[in-house]
Structure 1
């Protein structure tokens, strides 16, 4: 194998030399930092046959070669192409777009009818053996690919850290706080280079605040009135939030201006908690079992200032979510999705997607007092362009329900982790996270080569 060494000031320059010398199909074997630059060891794609020998993969058990011009040589060439195909992505795609767990497609020759093989058991077994790349070879290729991906991500992170240290520090803080790589890339894409760390953090927070949709005191739904349904997964606080909104409405407009409706007729005693709140507030509580019943109930309450609908809690993956969507689809009900601030970002994304068919009017953020960070929840709210109506930070009714204060919420979201925190990112860990989050470090620091 003719292994070549390439040295350059940056990883991008070294890769360009590899491409010019060995071609776009070159395979990178290793890379490391050296004083003053980067060293990459690479080999041409044509030398791949020294790693995966065609003879080893197609030789029949008896040791005889397949007939010339038969199916076995053609299948061998297909197997070689399948074995080398993962390595081609080394230079054709950035490290962040690699998928180490992706299956490498088998060559089309595997579908060749057995009648094309020469007569006899040995020919058939040779063709079958040549049609599949050995599992050990594929595992080795995937392992090399993962190693190269991590190495290049580390180099890219180091290069960006040297050229734009402020941006990389803000990126580390955002990823450590719980923001998604995609949201971090979008916020940092236009960060001015001349800012110091404090100014850059203020700039990023300001941009996030401008993208955050909220209501103010003049848009409080308690004063505007209407029909609102509170939806969301189990345990997010729908019934308690309905009681808080009901208490606010009664305090401002009186009990006659409000009605409570529940659609949770499945669980034993599910609506009893809401009935208890209704008796305390002097507000009627009605049960709607299906869409027809709900339409009739809302027709009777059409002159009521405000109607709050408490719904059944369920997993966002439950099939009954679709039934709930259908129940509110043909009515004048505005839906508010409750999101727990303690949830993971990917789980909250799943919840928003499940209830998006309702045409959400906005959301309410609950359990703010229990969350160590608000980064993940605000990330989801901003990316999905959900209007934040209220923030709940306790169990007290109605004291623990507030209109959103954007500066306070973003201050908590961007709060950096202490040095002693086991969740604080260090070294090249932010770069490895960005490598698996889309376009990778190239879209955060510098420009593409």
Structure 2
């Protein structure tokens, strides 16, 4: 069965195509029509091969566009969209005669796509769109190195990529791909940079001013594009416009509140940070001072150990003396017993010196004594009964002292005899 095959399969504007007849046998005539039927109004040409080929043009023939080959195939040059449509071929060959047709489609070539943005510098949390400009093609969006955020949306024909609330994470390189049945084209990468911030500002640096030395404070905040900086000291605006504040020869008067104001020129947002810097003298630490400090610490520790040791020895000594004193108090002191034993001789001598006086005294008050004795016999008896042990212990407690007292008394008596 005969058929017509377009070569190439997907012809494009300004290109060419051959409507090839797949007939291997010898043909006598080949007539071509473009339209709904094979009638004169749609007649293009008739071709008669042989030793002297003949081409008879029809109403639609155009020498600039149409060429017929020796096998009866029709070649069309400089294609336009209007060249597309239904083509009919009437073939008379050696063995048969047939009429066949084919529908030709002329495709527009894909122009190189180009991306345009709704705004050059999108701001975070605002709406933002990218549009792929091309012709009659299926469009696909890609992002270099990663996928496109799931929060994005696409227009009906995929030509526009929509960011309802663009975020800093959406920054990057984007491409759009345009493709039809004929060709595929890619756009140049478009770089999206989302403006954001500044976020929280931070000041880094020492919190003291050392007179005579330098001080450096650094202010930072996450922001794009890079922010503008302004410094204040105790509400006095400084000339510094960078993120660093330097003072080469600080004075005590330089202490106070240092404020850094960060401003984004695109988002117009600001962030502020401050730090209180105080005046402070810092002594340098060297090896000698370290050694002196260690020696002093060792001396203090040694002194504490000696004090604790001395206190322990003192307590042990006091406890020992107390124990010895307790033992000494338990030994009897026999002083009062000897004193009592020595008294009779003294009393006898006294009686010997005054015998008559005592006798007359006794003779004058015999009844009084007797009545007194009779009146208080029980009291004396009870009294004696109540304190027998006390007298005995008292008498037994001082034997040694009485003995010495007796010796001294004997010596006195001896001295008296010698004198007499």
With the length of structure 2 as denominator, give the TM-score of the two structures: 0.17
Instruction: Report the structure number with the largest CA radius of gyration.
Output: 2
Q: Greater share of helix residues, 1 or 2?
A: 1
Q: Greater share of strand residues, 1 or 2?
A: 2
With the length of structure 1 as denominator, give the TM-score of the two structures: 0.16
